[in-house]
Chain A
């Protein structure tokens, strides 16, 4: 079994864990963490295929895309966190509830 195969399978598992977390977890912070884990799965699959296509060095284009992607994911997570904290300030709710 090649190295990239192990990590590409891991990436699929991570993505599904993240999706499940977005649905199942209740608290805002856990939902944000779940989206970051989903993103981690996507980035891991990119980098594992960069490793597969390596010649003298690993394919640099997916690496560059993943670096940009990580920074953008962090910026959006920071925005999500700001929204979550604002919701908590205004309503004292820590998760989405339907009973109102």
Chain B
């Protein structure tokens, strides 16, 4: 037998890997990421130790405590982080519904925005007249249904005509974004007292109450993570999603209505993203802008994958990425590190964190070792 055409390195799927090894791999990746980030920052002429210190303290300094008014609350630094985390977590939970089914929903951004637009419509129309107990549920419902229908659209096309859902959902993002630009010029939406193209600020009654200084959305997001976990683990519908994801033909053979499952799941996926949009306009911003989603629909894809589609792990990872985002924002101020460099730093860290998944699932076999293994066999 000749080995003349053996590649220098081969990629082999791992069949089993011990848990301890997985932890070791991830730990190595994290250390590697921090070192690579430190190198980048040092090359730019900044102090890496100070940078990581500023990032962490800027994101969670004090974390929680009694504030000046004598009330228990998250500190100012951690409030900002938790708001970012809430948006990321809810969006990631929504996208995971579709991803589990191997339906590549890249349209989270658009579904968040359409949810936000629908909630905003209710807020602008009825915010001044309806009481808070009525307006908030109405906004919630409008946001979920709006986002859900916007998610349903590519699913219908996929089920009926086999369109590519990745491109379809991606393009829908830009339609939603530009629709907000259009709304900025509509007198019924526009801020009053000036002709500036900006959507008006909503009445106070449309704003969610706060818990520990952050809108109640963060608690709902945590509960939602548990709910989505149970949905996948314990319900028939959740099981159907997994089966369709593994093989649509198997699902058909088992008597499942695949079209119905795809449509239903994409509606739920979009609805959860729409819910994230509702949280953003009613909890945080108090108005609608083209920055309402702020890229969360894309970052949430990273959260979902880092967590391996595990809804409970998404709590951890959304918090982690929120710290990175908030921290990178902080070092721009304290150290004058440019935004582009801070973005590169986040990119490097995420690259390592995602890259290690490859080495957990596959291993590299080099030529010489490969021969030895064959000889042994």
* Co-assembled chains A and B: no
Q: Which B residues form the contact surface with A (CB < 8 A)?
A: none
Residues of A within 8 A of B (CB): none
